[in-house]
Amino acid sequence: MPARLDRKTAPRVYRAYTGMSHQAILGGARLDRKTPIPQAACSDQEVLESLVFTALADCRQIVSRPFGVEQISLPADGGMPTVRLVDTVYAAKSTVSYANWLVQAVLPHAVDESGYSNGIANVRVACVTRQDLTLRFLGTDARLVFRGGPRTDWRRVLWEFQCQLESAGGEALWNWPRSFLTDSVRMKLHDQRPRSLAWLGSGLMRRAAIFHSASSSFYVNGWEGLDELKFEFDTLVGVSATHDRFVNRLIDPLWGLPLIIKERHCYCDDRRGYHCWFGLAHRDGGKRALQLRFTWTERRHLGDWRNMLKATGAQQSRLNEILPEHLCR
Ligand SMILES: [Zn+2]
């Protein structure tokens, strides 16, 4: 059943999609009744959000929230979104700063003397404070703020990353004044992604909290295929399937994205191979734009995932839902 927009349920639903209480963002202003989750104000903003979100979705780390996103604040006047991040990820037997991981995935940089570059080509740093890293999209008005966890100091993170790059013969490129998309040495930057999916990447980023609130998967990963976005959800065997809950949130006519289900393959009942998947397309037509895959992992392949998630700050109630202790023994 579609989620309605009434005074009683709206705050709860808004929180499920964005992780935020809407009063906190709007200062008590009313949500737009037609688009309670506002769209990006312009196409450049959409592209920036989509590029950044796709990079975060491919995090492939153990984090307490999918992609490291705690909350997203979306000003009703079309102003800059603020993405609030987790503090840490689990990697190589200990927790490390999520901000350190993020700058490597998002900010353009030359890795070493070979000139091999990484990051998102036309993203630049507009402003940095201890708490906030504001990104801009070169040659446009598009902006996005990353708010780090309480232990994050972006200025230190940027400084350390720059020192690390320079000691290896590389270079920080996030303040580069011009576009280098035509520079043959740096063509390996993520510059060739189709803009046709920007509405989807941006729309998903603006609803990133449903990957947490409407899913019981312990690991979610996303990436961009040739002409579609793909997400894989990994759930522990014995934890009930939540794929219908997630997809219903995603296609909700009021709060969700303009998507329809084109294919639904569910094997939960016969448990054959535990691999359910959905194909979704824009409701105005066109081919598949989004593929969602749901797989299940046996306990014996899980390792110490529960404790690793706990080390990143995952809440006990969340752990009990997605990796209950009696199923992890
Ligand atoms: Zn299923």
Domain boundary assignment for the chain? 41-195, 201-328
Ligand 1 centre and the CA of 109: distance in Å? Answer: 41
Residue of 277, 284, 325 whose CA lies nearest to 305: 325
Q: What is the CATH number of domain 201-328?
A: 3.30.460
- Name the residue with tokens 């199923």: 327
Q: Give the burial class of 298: count Cβ atoms within 10 A of its Cβ; 0-12 exposed, 13-18 middle, 19 or more buried.
A: exposed
Ligand 1 centre and the CA of 240: distance in Å? Answer: 9
Ligand 1 centre and the CA of 13: distance in Å? Answer: 24
Ligand 1 centre and the CA of 239: distance in Å? Answer: 12
- Name the residue with tokens 């522990």: 236
Ligand 1 centre and the CA of 268: distance in Å? Answer: 4
Distance in angstroms (rounded) separating the CA atoms of residues 193 and 173:
20
Q: What is the DSSP string of 128-167?
A: E-SSEEEEEETTS--EEEEEPPTT--HHHHHHHHHHHHHH
Count of Cβ atoms closer than 10 Å to residue 208 Cβ: 24
Distance in angstroms (rounded) separating the CA atoms of residues 9 and 254:
13
Ligand 1 centre and the CA of 276: distance in Å? Answer: 5
pLDDT of residue 102: 95
For residue 95, the cross-strand partners are 90
Count of Cβ atoms closer than 10 Å to residue 239 Cβ: 17
Which residues keep their CB under 5 angstroms from ion ligand 1? 241, 266, 268, 276
Tell me the CA distances in angstroms from 181 to 59, 118, 205, one per residue in order.
24, 12, 25
List the structure tokens of 57.
């979705």
For CA atoms 43, 47, 50, 56, the dihedral sign is negative
Residue of 254, 267, 211 whose CA lies nearest to 65: 211
Ligand 1 centre and the CA of 250: distance in Å? Answer: 16
- The separation between CA 168 and the C-alpha centre of its own chain, rounded to angstroms, equals 30
Ligand 1 centre and the CA of 324: distance in Å? Answer: 20
Ligand 1 centre and the CA of 233: distance in Å? Answer: 12
Tell me the CA distances in angstroms from 43 to 2, 24, 39, 140, one per residue in order.
28, 27, 10, 10
Ligand 1 centre and the CA of 263: distance in Å? Answer: 12
pLDDT of residue 27: 53
Task: Please give the DSSP secondary-structure letter assigned to residue 241.
Answer: P
Ligand 1 centre and the CA of 262: distance in Å? Answer: 15
Ligand 1 centre and the CA of 241: distance in Å? Answer: 6
Distance in angstroms (rounded) separating the CA atoms of residues 2 and 258:
13
Which pTM value belongs to this model?
Answer: 0.93
Ligand 1 centre and the CA of 292: distance in Å? Answer: 11
Predicted confidence pLDDT, tens digits, the chain (329 residues): 555 667 778 888 999 999 987 665 555 566 788 889 999 999 999 999 999 999 999 988 899 999 999 999 998 777 899 999 999 988 777 888 999 999 999 999 999 888 788 888 889 999 999 999 999 999 899 999 999 988 899 999 999 999 999 999 999 999 988 776 655 555 455 455 557 899 999 999 999 999 999 999 999 999 988 889 999 999 999 898 899 999 999 999 999 999 999 999 998 887 655 789 999 999 998 899 999 999 998 888 888 899 999 999 899 999 999 999 989 87
- Name the residue with tokens 């399937």: 241
